[in-house]
Structure 1
Amino acid sequence: MSRLPRRSLLSLTLSAALATGLAGCSPGTDGSADAPTTDSTTPAADTATTAPVLGSFGFDIAGMDREVPPGDDFYRYANGGWMESTQIPADRSSFNSFTRIVVDTEKNVRQIIEDAADDEAAQGPMRKVGDYYTAFMDEAGIEARGIAPLQPQLDEIAAIADKQALATELGSQLRADVDLLNATDYYTDRLFGLWVSQDLHQPDRNVPYLVQGGLGMPDRSFYLDDGRMAELRTAYQAHVAKMLELAGIDDAAAKAERIVALETAIAKVHATQEQTNNVEAGANAWTAADFAAKAPGMDWDAFLKAAGLGGQQDFIAWQPDAVAGISKLVASQPLDTWKEYLTFHAIDRAAATLPKAFGDQQFAFYGKTLNGTPQQRDRWKRAVSATNGALGEAVGQEYVERHVSAETRARAEAMVDNIVAAFGKRIDALEWMSDETKAQARAKVAGLTVALGYPDSWRDYGALEIKPDDALGNAQRASAFEYQRNLAKLGQPVNHDEWYMLPHTVNALNVPLENRLIFPAAILQPPFFDPNADDAVNYGAIGAVIGHEISHSFDNLGALFDKDGRLHNWWTPEDLERFEAAGDALAAQFSEYKAFDDLAVNGKLSLGENIADVAGLATAYDAYRLSLQGQPGETLEGFSPDQRFFLGFAQAWRGKYREAALRNAILTDVHAPGRFRAQTVRNLDAWYPAFEVTEGQALYLAPEDRVKVW
């Protein structure tokens, strides 16, 4: 039930302990949807075509700006025309290649959901899908009920009489709404977040990971920094007061001031994003008894019992100082302030299913003020997103039946095989790596498994109660259902078949703890993949995506895990030193990119993604050259095969942001903005002769300065 998705603080997130997603600005980062498009890109199971979606060979020539020398700004050369002609839709904070696919996918998903809602004979999970959507779309009913559906929770908070009861309430609110897998939603406004996953230290068992939370804004910097952040804090405090007023709560302004002061205190004890990205520092094994000893202040027995974890002995505390600091605040801050804080977050969290004024106010701050989005999404788009969040695999199963081509899946599987093989050859060819370390790296590649398209078995929603006239109750029950589904993993064998994305999600995922890659069906669409497009373009786009995800197993964080997903160092000291030196060079390269005069990319924060881009692009290039089987390849419309490969990569990363959203992304996103990711080409030797790039041009790097990680 999180309000608005945001970027993950973990580059390599917990696979069920740690996983890394592809998208830097994945669709819907502001909860928005829809964008102008004239061509349908969704592959259909019953539709066969031979023409590519884009241009005559799968590439948007009109979207280029050929007046820009590629050696000065390759991104602008590949995408300048598109940048000039494309407008960000009013209900979005950004628009990019991922968005382009999401637009059509969302329309198809809407049809599936509305068909279920309209089908009186629908049974099983699709009946629940239809009823969830119907309840969310029942604006008249929601208005008539007012805040009454939320009142029992508000009364429960008001009845808190002491700190033990507070701990019980906080524990009862713990949810698995921190998505540590997709690298798109590492965020919870609940005091703590929980994810159940296999143990970093003992991969044969599952443990609960406790992570920091409790903030209404995206990150500690929003509470502690000056300049724009100070203005946002003022706006946030006004938002808190307005939400309390809408709920009929007295003395809203004073309460809002105390709530924001409490959140500021929480922010001060939060780990930074760089600290959160440190897997070795995060892998803190705690027993149940450790919480009282290492994080005094909270009544942990009451908290864990209320959270359904009373019998659990082993945990991982991802940010131990934050856990301790927040626990101390539970003891030191006034009980009434905590009750005010819980009241506001209960209202804010429920806003989408309360009367229109609540949703409008929430968008006014999170959408317009925070992200610069002028217009709220249509109700049906919000309803589709909410239904997906609650019953996504039920929707996904129907999506696969209607829209996923077996031929497309088979061709993508063949490409994956080629790129995995090419990565293995790159390991063999590394001159700087010892045979000892190479043997371990080869073992990881040999054990790598790939899930493509959709899961082999689907989630059972039988225990989830959905009513066609209870929008808030449905959301609350769905959140509790997902939490219980995660708790049920405890004490059970580790399952390596779970999907952490929906088939209609436009993204990809590396799960290092399982040594596994996941590619949902929806990303197998143009501009990333078109079965009728030129191979060079496909290898440059989806091939680099596949290579990117493979490379995450060997980036600065993935390289910490062995073939079995165990966290331990399998490198010789000399090899690790060389690897880290290459990472430092890449971090420095990206830190030179400035989105604004006063704000540069954080090369260390985005290092894992940048390593994956460099290694993934190089691997995809090798795989493409191997696919030619020694033949030179033909020139198409004046573009050589190598040119088409690199242009396919650059056009996959086209994107536009509103200023506020771009500033937020640079501060909180582990991915660099797309225009800088496209400049990754400057590290590949083959790019230079392909575009006649020479010394003195802005992107030129001397051969010894080109970063080669794998």
Structure 2
Amino acid sequence: MNHRFIKPLVLALSLACSGAVLAEKVELTRGLDTKQFDAQKPICSDLFGYVNATWLKNNAIPADRSTWGSFEQLDEASIHATHEIAEDAARKLASLDADSIEGKIGAFYTSGMDVAAANKAGVAPIGDWLKRIDSLSSPDEIIGLIHDSHAQGLGLLFMFTGEADFKNSSMEIAYAFQGGLGLPERAYYLEDGKDGSYKKIREAYRAYIAQALELAGTPKAAAARQAETVFAFEKRLATASLAPVELRSPENQYNFVTLEQAQKQNPHLGWNKFFASQNLSDSKGFSLSQPKFFAEVDKMLGDVPAADWQAYLRFKTIDGAAPYLSDALAEAHFGFHGKTLRGQQQNKPRWKRVMETVEDSMGMALGQLYVERNFPPEAKRRAQELVDNLRSATKVRLEKLDWMGEETKKKALEKWASFTPKIGYPEEWRNWDGLKVSRDNYFGNVAAAARFNHDWAMAKINKPVDRREWGMSPQTVNAYYNPLQNEIVFPAAILQPPFFDPKADDALNYGGIGAVIGHEILHGYDDEGSKFDAKGNLADWWTKEDREKFDARAAKLIQQFDDYVAIDGLHVKGKLTLGENIADLGGLNMSYDAFKLAQSRDNKNPDEKIDGLTPDQRFFLNFAQVWRRAFRDAELKRRLNVDPHAPAQFRAIGAPSNMPAFAQAFGCKSGDAMVRDGERQVKIW
């Protein structure tokens, strides 16, 4: 599944940490970590600081991480678990069937750990591609290479994949998306940034382009000239690209055209030949999702000299392959993408980089082995109970909405009734027959998996959507909502403390995983998800009056987050993060309702204290503990530009500050920072 369309709880978890700092498995936080609470930061002023400031002060971000907190600790446990699986498979590789999942995982991991072979090979694994690029002389040859790169799963210049049709979600079609940039988004090419950081990053990027070209054999002076050419090439692409806020709109993600229409719009791109090269000749049409971008690419095929195309394609080929080649290339790649863009101090230990590659290439295969060892059936049953309770609370809340008319409310409830929850792992595992993995060819395995996965994706296009599929592996510490299938999905790895513990009291589970479940349900009613109907089709099911009321309420939430200052005078972008903030606010309210219903149903004393804390207090404290997270400065600045999620510290305070139940739980008064009342209070769902 293309992750562009699913709505994860949190983006961009790094899959590794410093071996020096974290040689052993991380101990997960169970229950409330009350010894970390900081009384110097009053709850009514800063819930996040009260719960997390002491922990953050005493727990530095590991050297090869850009963030560190509850998510990353759980992620660390997951990567250790999958590493054990890969190590076991590698140790007994000689006795395993080479075509078994375990045999393929063991061989892939073994090949990746052979650093001597990678250093000896240098750039030889991509030598044929580089030779072909060097021989390009005409637009037809250039576009032919781009077509072939996609057929091999390497996808140069733009993104191309399959997903459900926005207008007919039961069928899968092809989508072409803007791409081709090496910097996070268009603004990095076209602006200097409020703090001047974009300009510095551009300079570092040019230096990295030249370094990568030189390491791959281009003479120093020529590499420097080509770096300027590559940057100018990408800047032109950036000028025609949409910004992250614009890309959030479903209308900017879907633009269905017939092949004939696409061919007329982009004659140089040669869509007929492209589809034939992807074994999709029978396609009637596809989503040419950002037509302005592809129009510019088509012009560039006609007016950019072949030598400039060669420089661009040469660098993109080297950059894409660098993590799987020699140490020199891998470190150069990390120096820019990890250190400059994200602020990491050192690269990941090799075994974690290899595990990340295995995850990217064969994540569901690895997940099948992970679930067998790490996800007991009772965890799934208890999680299902919570999902059922959250869904019930959601229905009640929808029925009682006082700002929505009956016509729209009826459609909202129809959508509620069609939600599909998925918990733990897929009911049916993907077949990996046909993928050949060698124990002594790391890049060859990466390339083979890329081609295998691309062929698998292409084979689904123009066919009915398989609703059993998952867009995340079970070992992923995340959750998501897919508007096209109207489904909420909770992988096994997130169903652990501090999010979920079958032995914990209800307050902790509803403040943790309950808020996550509510968050994903509410994505169906955020500013994007609310444009899709009960069947997952892009359709307007709102009355004009109700949509205007919704937009007015959402505008207040935009303003709330626009007012938060993250770092160096840089504010959170309320429009970029709106969908996640709506989901946080509605999800926490839904989870609180479900929590109170569970207490009432089970005849629990609503004032019974544990460790001196009432159930309501424990609910909100665990919500804040889940969002325990620190960022490196560079990573925080990058995310402010591209991440649709607000930084964790603002997610921890944003929703509770709009809830009277929070103020009541801690005796907060009007005027306190954590109390948004009157016209400032945001109520949507």
**Structure 1 and Structure 2 fold alike (TM over 0.5):** yes
Out of 626, 629, 643, the residue aligned to residue 655 of structure 1 is: 629
2:356 and 2:36 map into 1 onto residues whose CA distance is: 30
Amino acid aligned to 1:155? K
Out of 280, 291, 296, the residue aligned to residue 309 of structure 1 is: 280
Describe the superposition over 1:143-171 as per-residue Cα deviations: whole angstroms up to 9, x where unpaired: 22222221111112222231011111111
Match of 1:126 in 2: 102
SS in 1 for 2:611: coil
Q: 1:434-583 alignment to 2 at 5 Å?
A: 434-583=405-554
RMSD: 1.8
Q: Is residue 2:29 matched to residue 1:21?
A: no
2:658 and 2:254 map into 1 onto residues whose CA distance is: 33
2:24 and 2:449 map into 1 onto residues whose CA distance is: 35
SS in 1 for 2:10: coil
Q: Is residue 2:275 matched to residue 1:288?
A: no
Match of 1:252 in 2: 223
Does structure 2 retain, via aligned residues, the 8 Å contact 1:544–1:620?
Answer: yes
Measured after TM superposition, the shift of residue 112 of structure 1 is 0.1
Match of 2:208 in 1: 239
SS in 1 for 2:385: helix
Task: Go from structure 1 to structure 2 and tell me whether the alpha carbon gap of 1:287 and 1:337 turns closer, same or farther (over 3 Å shift).
Answer: same
Aligned length: 672
Measured after TM superposition, the shift of residue 282 of structure 1 is 2.7
SS in 1 for 2:547: helix
Amino acid aligned to 2:165? D
Does structure 1 retain, via aligned residues, the 8 Å contact 2:658–2:677?
Answer: no
SS in 1 for 2:185: coil
Out of 599, 611, 616, the residue aligned to residue 587 of structure 2 is: 616
Q: Is residue 2:225 matched to residue 1:225?
A: no
Does structure 1 retain, via aligned residues, the 8 Å contact 2:474–2:491?
Answer: yes
Does structure 1 retain, via aligned residues, the 8 Å contact 2:170–2:465?
Answer: yes
2:200 and 2:280 map into 1 onto residues whose CA distance is: 40
SS in 1 for 2:369: helix
SS in 1 for 2:95: coil
Describe the superposition over 1:401-437 as per-residue Cα deviations: whole angstroms up to 9, x where unpaired: 1111111111111001000110000001111111211
2:51 and 2:63 map into 1 onto residues whose CA distance is: 25
Measured after TM superposition, the shift of residue 694 of structure 1 is 1.1
Q: Is residue 2:175 matched to residue 1:200?
A: no
Measured after TM superposition, the shift of residue 326 of structure 1 is 2.0
Task: Go from structure 1 to structure 2 and tell me whether the alpha carbon gap of 1:33 and 1:98 turns closer, same or farther (over 3 Å shift).
Answer: farther
Describe the superposition over 1:355-411 as per-residue Cα deviations: whole angstroms up to 9, x where unpaired: 110101111111111111111100000011111111111211111111111111111
Task: Go from structure 1 to structure 2 and tell me whether the alpha carbon gap of 1:618 and 1:175 turns closer, same or farther (over 3 Å shift).
Answer: farther
Q: 1:50-69 alignment to 2 at 5 Å?
A: 54=30, 58-69=31-42
Does structure 1 retain, via aligned residues, the 8 Å contact 2:2–2:162?
Answer: no
Describe the superposition over 1:448-484 as per-residue Cα deviations: whole angstroms up to 9, x where unpaired: 1111000111111111121111111111111111111
Measured after TM superposition, the shift of residue 28 of structure 1 is 0.6
Q: Is residue 2:613 matched to residue 1:639?
A: yes
1:621 and 1:437 map into 2 onto residues whose CA distance is: 25
TM-score by length of 2: 0.95
Amino acid aligned to 2:174? P
SS in 1 for 2:68: strand
2:500 and 2:63 map into 1 onto residues whose CA distance is: 28
SS in 2 for 1:72: coil
Measured after TM superposition, the shift of residue 176 of structure 1 is 9.9
Task: Go from structure 1 to structure 2 and tell me whether the alpha carbon gap of 1:16 and 1:649 turns closer, same or farther (over 3 Å shift).
Answer: closer
Measured after TM superposition, the shift of residue 189 of structure 1 is 7.7
1:36 and 1:143 map into 2 onto residues whose CA distance is: 27
Does structure 2 retain, via aligned residues, the 8 Å contact 1:437–1:571?
Answer: yes
Measured after TM superposition, the shift of residue 239 of structure 1 is 0.6
Amino acid aligned to 1:164? D
2:64 and 2:17 map into 1 onto residues whose CA distance is: 6
Q: Is residue 2:412 matched to residue 1:425?
A: no
Task: Go from structure 1 to structure 2 and tell me whether the alpha carbon gap of 1:33 and 1:556 turns closer, same or farther (over 3 Å shift).
Answer: farther
Amino acid aligned to 1:663? K
Does structure 1 retain, via aligned residues, the 8 Å contact 2:26–2:73?
Answer: no
Does structure 1 retain, via aligned residues, the 8 Å contact 2:108–2:445?
Answer: yes
SS in 2 for 1:204: strand
SS in 2 for 1:205: strand
Out of 68, 71, 75, the residue aligned to residue 98 of structure 1 is: 71
Does structure 2 retain, via aligned residues, the 8 Å contact 1:606–1:670?
Answer: yes
Task: Go from structure 1 to structure 2 and tell me whether the alpha carbon gap of 1:156 and 1:259 turns closer, same or farther (over 3 Å shift).
Answer: same
Does structure 2 retain, via aligned residues, the 8 Å contact 1:16–1:198?
Answer: no
Q: 1:29-428 alignment to 2 at 5 Å?
A: 36=22, 54=30, 58-119=31-92, 120-123=94-97, 124-174=100-150, 190-226=156-192, 227-250=196-219, 251-428=222-399
Measured after TM superposition, the shift of residue 36 of structure 1 is 4.6
1:111 and 1:85 map into 2 onto residues whose CA distance is: 29
Measured after TM superposition, the shift of residue 202 of structure 1 is 1.4
2:323 and 2:180 map into 1 onto residues whose CA distance is: 19
Does structure 2 retain, via aligned residues, the 8 Å contact 1:189–1:214?
Answer: no
SS in 1 for 2:75: helix
Measured after TM superposition, the shift of residue 92 of structure 1 is 0.7
Measured after TM superposition, the shift of residue 682 of structure 1 is 0.6
2:351 and 2:22 map into 1 onto residues whose CA distance is: 17
1:334 and 1:472 map into 2 onto residues whose CA distance is: 31
Question: Structure 1, unaligned stretches of length 5 or more?
Answer: 1-13, 43-52, 178-187
Measured after TM superposition, the shift of residue 292 of structure 1 is 2.9
Does structure 2 retain, via aligned residues, the 8 Å contact 1:91–1:375?
Answer: yes
SS in 2 for 1:362: helix
Q: Which moved more, 1:668-677 or 1:218-227?
A: 218-227
Amino acid aligned to 2:125? P
1:145 and 1:40 map into 2 onto residues whose CA distance is: 36
Does structure 1 retain, via aligned residues, the 8 Å contact 2:407–2:543?
Answer: yes
Match of 2:643 in 1: 669
What percent of counterpart residues are identical?
38
2:313 and 2:4 map into 1 onto residues whose CA distance is: 29
1:546 and 1:423 map into 2 onto residues whose CA distance is: 11
The runs of at least 4 aligned residues of structure 1 exceeding 4 Å deviation read 14-17, 31-42
Task: Go from structure 1 to structure 2 and tell me whether the alpha carbon gap of 1:242 and 1:334 turns closer, same or farther (over 3 Å shift).
Answer: same
Task: Go from structure 1 to structure 2 and tell me whether the alpha carbon gap of 1:90 and 1:33 turns closer, same or farther (over 3 Å shift).
Answer: closer
1:524 and 1:282 map into 2 onto residues whose CA distance is: 32
Does structure 1 retain, via aligned residues, the 8 Å contact 2:364–2:429?
Answer: yes
Does structure 1 retain, via aligned residues, the 8 Å contact 2:656–2:674?
Answer: no
SS in 2 for 1:519: strand
Does structure 2 retain, via aligned residues, the 8 Å contact 1:241–1:255?
Answer: yes
